[in-house]
């Protein structure tokens, strides 16, 4: 097992082919540049099967970080055998009716989502979304808690406290905020013309305050160019990641790049150059999804990048420990949450 801990110091998070590991998957996961796996719907047909897949991944290397995009609403990769979590925007509507009920249910949903993923052996979900919904960006919408930064902050903090109760750390995204732009970064590179002072007074409020409260173990930057701040997209900008996120706001957790296969991440020189640029700018992990040739290019070509001792320490706090056996029994707390969902949303 000691060798596995050394091998898992790599900065690349990638995907696997299906519900079972292929021979190619297994070989790739032993590469020293690979530090984690991100699961998609094609990998997670049922909760029990997902638990089996996670065990097989951990049997190859115990310290591989297993991630998923499981936010609730339309972004829920694992659906069979777990609760359908409502979109975060629905919590804002409840919060407006009763702040106490909104915050309480946000905490319960954070716990439930994390508890069910942990039961399947998943270490972390890349959530919550901290973008403010300006009714402009098709990639955000109901994934956002609210258009209001203080409402978003309150609900996100409660959601994270629930996650933490299930021993799961939070990764806030998409720093410094994706809701204002109209372009979906999956399709093209969005550009935002606002000055930093305006962004800081609004979009950055949830990030800044949650960092101050030590609520975020990770942050994912957006594939957006803020033209008045830096010519580089945020995830490739040392100004954004090192000067603003690290120094100005004091963030000392992990920085996860958004998917380098997205159109908003296209840089001259190909995938390897993009990965190296993101890591040099300040990312701890780079994600390469749904592009095996691109992932192979990055994994085989990266040289001189590994997680720092601090990053490795934080990564360890994200890992599941103990049994991954799937337990289909509903806990009393889970049943109470399901009843609340039926009655309050």
For residue 290, the 8-state DSSP code is S
Is residue 258 annotated as part of the catalytic site, yes or no? yes
C-alpha 137/C-alpha 156 separation (Å) is 20
Is residue 186 annotated as part of the catalytic site, yes or no? yes
Find the catalytic residue in 203, 258, 259, 284: 258
Coil, helix or strand for 340? helix
Q: Could you give the C-alpha distances from 328 to 46, 233, 300, 323, in angstroms and in order?
A: 11, 43, 40, 14
Across 227-254, b (16+ Cβ under 10 Å) vs e yields eebbebbbbbbebbbeebbbeebebebb
Across 4-37, b (16+ Cβ under 10 Å) vs e yields eeebbbbbbbbbbeeeebeeebeebbebebbbbb
Q: Give the distance between the most distant pair of CA atoms in the chain.
A: 54
* Strands (DSSP E) found in 2-142: 12-14, 34-39, 65-68, 70-72, 75-76, 124-125
- Helix (H) or strand (E) holding 177, with range, is none
Find the catalytic residue in 148, 184, 186, 243: 186
- Give the full edge-to-edge strand order of the sheet including 34-39: 124-125, 65-68, 34-39, 12-14, 285-288, 254-259, 218-221, 171-175
Q: Which residues are catalytic?
A: 186, 258
């Amino acid at each position: 097992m000691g060798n596995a801990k050394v091998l898992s110091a790599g900065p690349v998070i990638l995907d696997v082919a299906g519900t079972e590991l292929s021979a190619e998957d297994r070989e790739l996961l032993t590469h020293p540049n690979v530090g984690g796996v991100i699961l998609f719907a094609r990998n997670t047909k049922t909760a029990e099967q997902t638990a089996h897949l996670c065990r097989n991944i951990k049997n190859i290397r115990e310290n591989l970080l297993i991630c998923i995009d499981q936010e609730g609403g339309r972004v829920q990769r694992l659906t069979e055998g777990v609760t359908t979590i409502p979109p975060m925007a629905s919590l804002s509507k409840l919060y407006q009716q009763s702040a106490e009920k909104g915050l309480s249910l946000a905490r319960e949903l954070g716990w439930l989502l994390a508890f069910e993923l942990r039961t399947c052996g998943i270490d972390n979900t890349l959530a919550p979304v901290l973008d403010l919904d300006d009714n402009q960006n098709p990639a955000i919408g109901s994934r956002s808690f609210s258009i209001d930064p203080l409402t978003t902050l309150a609900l996100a903090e409660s959601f994270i406290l629930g996650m933490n109760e299930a021993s799961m750390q939070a990764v806030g995204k998409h720093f410094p905020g994706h809701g204002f732009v109209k372009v979906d970064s999956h399709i093209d590179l969005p550009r935002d013309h606002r000055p930093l002072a305006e962004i800081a007074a609004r979009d950055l409020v949830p990030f800044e305050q949650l960092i101050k409260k030590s609520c975020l173990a990770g942050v994912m930057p957006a594939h957006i160019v803020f033209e008045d701040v830096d010519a580089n997209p945020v995830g490739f900008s040392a100004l954004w990641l090192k000067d603003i996120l690290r120094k100005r706001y004091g963030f000392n957790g992990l920085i996860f790049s958004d998917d380098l296969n997205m159109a908003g991440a296209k840089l001259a020189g190909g995938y390897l150059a993009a990965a190296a640029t993101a890591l040099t700018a300040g990312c701890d992990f780079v994600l390469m999804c749904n592009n095996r040739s691109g992932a192979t290019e990055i994994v085989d070509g990266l040289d001189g990048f590994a997680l720092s001792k601090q990053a490795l320490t934080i990564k360890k706090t994200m890992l599941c420990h103990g049994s991954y056996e799937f337990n289909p029994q509903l806990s009393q707390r889970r049943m109470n949450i399901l009843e609340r969902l039926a009655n309050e949303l």
